[in-house]
Amino acid sequence: MKFTPTRISDVVVVDPEVHEDGRGFFMETWHERLFDEVGIHARFVQDNYTRSSRGTLRGLHYQVKKPQGKLIRVVVGEAFDVAVDLRQSSPTFGQWAGETLSAANKRSIWIPPGFAHGFIVTGDSAEMVYRCTDYYSRQHERTLRWDDKDLAIDWPLTGIEQPVLSAKDAAGASLKDADVYA
């Protein structure tokens, strides 16, 4: 596996070693020892699977008091995945990192606890799987506005007139009004 830090060094792109032949392919998507060697110490307690159509934007979600680290990959289609640093003590507080994940590139992205997470589907559809380091907690879930001018996320909206949002995501808080981590 190859581990490449993004512009926020704690958010890491993971490129697997893919073994391909005429039958198909094989790759490891999680190897605790290899992740430990690069300083990613994660214990996963919940796996999630989501399918969304083109132009769907989910997020930016996070949980206060029960932050989740996430290891995310796309198994069908393509999406642009975003992490926003919400750790007030971090030198990258309020900054974002984004990466295109697809079934074709087979990459994953590690987003540590303390970050908001969101994505937009840039292919016809996307099916994503992600492993979480803490359980979902409805009472602790929060949402940031996807289009907050202070975040200035460069969402790839080419060919997408208006992102498809849930009511919850459309009503997200701005960074300056959000609950964040100490």
> Could you give the residue ranges of the DSSP H alpha helices within the chain?
32-37, 167-170
Question: In the prediction, which pLDDT does 9 show?
Answer: 97
Residue whose token pair is 């590690």: 110
3-state secondary structure of 9: coil
Using CA atoms, how far apart are residues 38 and 64, in angstroms rounded to an integer? 26
What domains lie within the chain, and their CATH numbers?
42-177 (2.60.120.10)
Full-model pTM: 0.95
CB 153 within 8 A of CB 112: no
- The residues carrying an active-site annotation are 61, 130
Question: In the prediction, which pLDDT does 87 show?
Answer: 96
Using alpha carbons only, what angle is made at residue 117 by residues 168 and 160, rounded to the nearest 5 degrees? 70
pLDDT by residue for the chain (182 residues), tens digit each?
Answer: 999 999 999 999 999 999 999 999 999 999 999 999 999 999 999 999 999 999 999 999 999 999 999 999 999 999 999 999 999 999 999 999 999 999 999 999 999 999 999 999 999 999 999 999 999 999 999 999 999 999 999 999 999 989 999 999 999 999 999 988 86
Question: Is 93 exposed, middle or buried (CB count within 10 Å of its CB: 0-12, 13-18, 19+)?
Answer: middle
